[in-house]
Amino acid sequence: MTALLPLSVVLPLIGAALCLLVSRSRVVQRVVSVATLVAGVGMAIAILVTVDADGVTATQVGAWAAPVGISLVADLMAALFLLVSLLTILTVLLFAIGQGVDNRSVFLPCYLVLTAGVAGSFLSGDLFNLFVCFEMMLIASYVLITIGATSTQVRSGMTYVVINLTASTLFVTVVAFVYGATGTLNFADLSQKFPAIPANLQLAIGLALLVMFGVKAAIFPVFGWLPDSYPNAPTAVTAVFAGLLTKVGVYAIIRTQTSLGLTELGDVILVVAGITMVIGVIGAIAQDDIKRILSFHIVSQIGYMIMGLGLFTVAGLAGAVFFVVHQIPGKTVLFLAGGLVEETTGTGTLHRLGGMLRTAPVVAAAFLIPALSLGGVPPFAGFVAKLSLVEAGLAREAWIIVGVALFASILTMVSMTKIWAGVFWGAPDEEPPVPDARGATRFRPPQLMTAATLAMVGLTLAIAVFAGPIYDLAERAAVDLVDPTAYAEAVMGR
Amino acid sequence: MTDGRPFGGDRSPILDESIRLAFHTVLVLSVYLLFVGHNAPGGGFSGGLVAGAAIFLRFIAGGRAAGALPGLGYEALCGLGLLISSVTGVAALAGGLGFLESWVFEREVPVLGVVKFTGTLPFDIGVYLVVVGLIAAIVDSLGREADTSETHALDPSHDQGGSR
């Protein structure tokens, strides 16, 4: 069973290699990519089932024992995130094929390398390997975000690349600090050796890690690059970035902070979380474009996940894990629905849109359900996620952050209402979209795009329906995070 | 620009001849680095970089017209390399070892004598191919404009008859 861990990282790479070899035939590329990701989803299910039954599963790459070798570890949190991510990646791939953004032969290989990077980041058992996998994901994302090479994309892509490279430089520096201070980079080993170093050094390293991953996860005050760069990429790319990249950053924050066990940083994290929630959502309200509103929402929602971590309780971490699980498909599907609006009408600007509830009811439904979920309306998954975080906050008597979270939640609904009222309600705009060559004023998006979006809506609904069992898994994942003994035993073989 | 030489100007016979001499030597050195990498400084990455430098020299001298870029196509080259490296890891797994675990091949071969290499060699060959393919891709995309015209694609004067 442990063979599945390296396989789920290397299989997308093999898929990418095959895609490069057959770069002349788009059909073969598509078949290879879809087959690779379907196999990846299958393996992720197998990993989750194994971890659920047997506890933390670990393997050593190259058969060098930990902490010298590279450990690949799947605990419940990693296995859950991996499965949800791969399902999301697969669905967005279908959307991308429907939209035809894979007409450049480099798209699908990069997409698969990104997948390998995401899987590797989740499964990585040491800090340096996490860096490598993170970079693999980011370098593929540099190509994807500028794939059309329009001048807007190149300009905002530059911001994206420069910010991320700066953060990566900081990442390597922190890796060196950690190694210098403790002599190990293996999370399991680290959780045992870290408490022995001086307290000041512990705090410094914990803060440096928080800042560095904070840039990648777009938390306050280093989130400005995200709403600037994401909206300019093709819809499928933005959707997969929105769903995954920042969440991998959040995963890295949770993984590192829990294995370091620095509960002193909790209050700092809570303050940052509160500001991130509010600033993100206020930014969203100020925007007049679907993708820009949604991009600011990503920032706001990151605040909730960080809040769960900042509480440093089992309930808080369980809330954070559940929040990420519902957010990965939830955020993605909103971007896909926004993409459908753009594809149908040719614009994403709110004041130029209207009345799509009548002209495109399916798109309206595909937007409404995840939007309500994001706003935290029962019975959707977002409600469960926010409820669990609020309960965790109340149990810790962290009144302020709970108040801020509820306030930000109301503002989220306000900005969602803004999209809803601007795009779907009201009369169709007085100035109809420019007719195309065939004289049609409305374009019907390809069936596959709609189908992929609806499948994604189905996934978010499934998370709502199975919220009980998933929350149960998240809670058990949180128990392992708060007390990393089981993780350490599985990795170190002690 | 008819002779395919980038960056304008006439071809320099001295540059042409010295690169013609150096090209194969540099390639042989890159292969040497690839094989020596197991126990000494070298390996797929540095070997690939050296081979890439050879390609770059060819391009400086003669542009693409001089056949500076491998005929296989750099996308295929990268793909092949990535495939070889990944399959090395999976093959070890399939053979009952750990993922990417190294194995040793040592056997008496006619003519060559005792041949010994480890499981890291195919992995390194894959890395070598990826690096060469990537450098070829970079040279190709950076040099594409220089190869055909001195004006840059983003130069606004391009539309106003800026090309020679």
Q: What is the pLDDT of residues A392-404, one digit of tens each?
A: 999 888 888 999 9
**pLDDT at position B151 over 80:** no
Angle of the A290-311 helix axis to the A266-286 helix axis, nearest 10? 170
Instruction: Note whether A1 contacts B: Cβ–Cβ < 8 A.
Output: no
Q: Can you tell me whether residue A58 is helix, strand or coil?
A: strand
Residue B154: burial class (beta carbons within 10 Å; 0-12, 13-18, 19+): exposed
Residue A61 phi/psi, 5-degree rounding, is -70, 135
Contacts of B82 in chain A (CB under 8 A): 13-14, 16-17, 20
CB B74 within 8 A of CB B137: yes
DSSP sequence for A133-162: HHHHHHHHHHHHHTTT--HHHHHHHHHHHH
Strands (E), chain B: 104-109, 113-118
**pLDDT at position A164 over 60:** yes
Torsion from C-alpha of A426, A431, A433, A436, nearest 10 degrees? 140
**pLDDT at position A173 over 90:** yes
Q: List the helix and strand counts (H, then E) for chain A.
A: 20, 2
What pLDDT was estimated at residue A360? Answer: 80
Decide if B79 and A109 are in contact by the 8 Å CB cutoff: yes
- Taking Cα atoms as reference points, which of A44, A48, A12 lies closest to residue A474? A48
Please name every residue paired with B115 in a beta bridge, in sequence order, or none if there are none.
B107
Report d(CA A97, CA A108) in Å as an integer.
10
Least confident of A318-327, A341-350, B74-83: A341-350
Contacts of B86 in chain A (CB under 8 A): 10, 13-14, 17
Query: Vertex A359, ends A356 and A363: CA angle to 5°?
Result: 60
CB A72 within 8 A of CB A9: yes
**Chain B closest-CA separation from residue A199 CA (Å):** 38
Please name every residue paired with B116 in a beta bridge, in sequence order, or none if there are none.
B106
Q: Can you tell me whether residue A109 is helix, strand or coil?
A: helix
Choice between A348 and A418, residue whose per-residue pLDDT is larger? A418
* Per-chain mean pLDDT for chain A: 88
Q: Tens digit of pLDDT for each residue in A350-374?
A: 777 777 777 788 888 888 888 888 8
Least confident of A18-22, A127-131, A371-375, B150-154: B150-154
Length of chain A: 494
Structure tokens that stand for B99 in this block: 């993922």
What pLDDT was estimated at residue B156? Answer: 45
**pLDDT at position B155 over 50:** no
What pLDDT was estimated at residue B148? Answer: 55
Decide if A21 and B79 are in contact by the 8 Å CB cutoff: yes
Count of C-beta atoms within a 10 Å radius of residue A131 = 19
Torsional sign, CA A462, A466, A467, A469:
negative
What pLDDT was estimated at residue A25? Answer: 86
What pLDDT was estimated at residue B63? Answer: 62
A110-121 as b/e: b if 16+ CB within 10 A: bbbbbbbbbbbb
Report d(CA B146, CA A477) in Å as an integer.
56
What pLDDT was estimated at residue B69? Answer: 60
- Taking Cα atoms as reference points, which of A79, A63, A77 lies closest to residue A4? A79
Q: Which residues contact A50 (CB under 8 A, 6 or more apart)?
A: A1, A4, A57, A74
Best B87, B100, B145 member to test A by mutation, with max A CBs in 10 Å, is: B100
Report d(CA A102, CA A110) in Å as an integer.
10
Nearest to A105 among B75, B90, B98 (CB): B75
Residue B110 phi/psi, 5-degree rounding, is -55, 150
């799509």: which residue's tokens? A356
Q: What chain B residue is nearest to A21 in terms of C-alpha separation?
A: B76
B-side interface with A, Cβ within 8 Å? 75-76, 78-83, 86-87, 89-90, 93, 97-102
Decide if B90 and A21 are in contact by the 8 Å CB cutoff: no
Instruction: Note whether A347 contacts B: Cβ–Cβ < 8 A.
Output: no
């057959």: which residue's tokens? A22
Least confident of A287-301, A368-382, B96-110: B96-110
Q: What chain B residue is nearest to A106 in terms of C-alpha separation?
A: B75
Q: To which H or E segment does residue A87 belong?
A: helix A76-99
Least confident of A182-191, A208-217, B103-112: B103-112
Report d(CA A51, CA A74) in Å as an integer.
7
Query: Vertex A276, ends A272 and A282: CA angle to 5°?
Result: 150
**Chain A closest-CA separation from residue B131 CA (Å):** 14
**pLDDT at position A127 over 50:** yes
């906050």: which residue's tokens? A393
Q: What chain A residue is nearest to B81 in terms of C-alpha separation?
A: A17
CA distances in angstroms from A70 to A62, A469, B100, listed in the order given: 8, 32, 11
Choice between B146 and A455, residue whose per-residue pLDDT is larger? A455
**pLDDT at position A205 over 70:** yes
Decide if A14 and B90 are in contact by the 8 Å CB cutoff: yes
**Chain A closest-CA separation from residue B130 CA (Å):** 10
Contacts of A109 in chain B (CB under 8 A): 79
In chain B, the percentage of residues whose pLDDT exceeds 90 is 21
CB A432 within 8 A of CB A356: no
Q: Tens digit of pLDDT for each residue in B11-45?
A: 778 888 888 888 889 999 999 999 888 778 888 89
Decide if A61 and B98 are in contact by the 8 Å CB cutoff: yes
């106003």: which residue's tokens? B160
Structure tokens that stand for A230 in this block: 């994401």
Report d(CA A73, CA A126) in Å as an integer.
9
Instruction: Note whether A437 contacts B: Cβ–Cβ < 8 A.
Output: no
ipTM over 0.85: no
Contacts of B153 in chain A (CB under 8 A): none
**pLDDT at position A10 over 90:** yes
Contacts of A59 in chain B (CB under 8 A): 98-99
* Per-chain mean pLDDT for chain B: 77
Q: Can you tell me whether residue B68 is helix, strand or coil?
A: coil
What pLDDT was estimated at residue B4? Answer: 52
Q: What chain A residue is nearest to B100 in terms of C-alpha separation?
A: A62
A2-23 as b/e: b if 16+ CB within 10 A: bebbbbbbbbbbbbbbbbbbbb
**pLDDT at position A145 over 80:** yes
Contacts of B88 in chain A (CB under 8 A): none
**pLDDT at position B62 over 80:** no
Residue B70 phi/psi, 5-degree rounding, is -60, 135
Report d(CA A91, CA A89) in Å as an integer.
6
Count of C-beta atoms within a 10 Å radius of residue A446 = 15
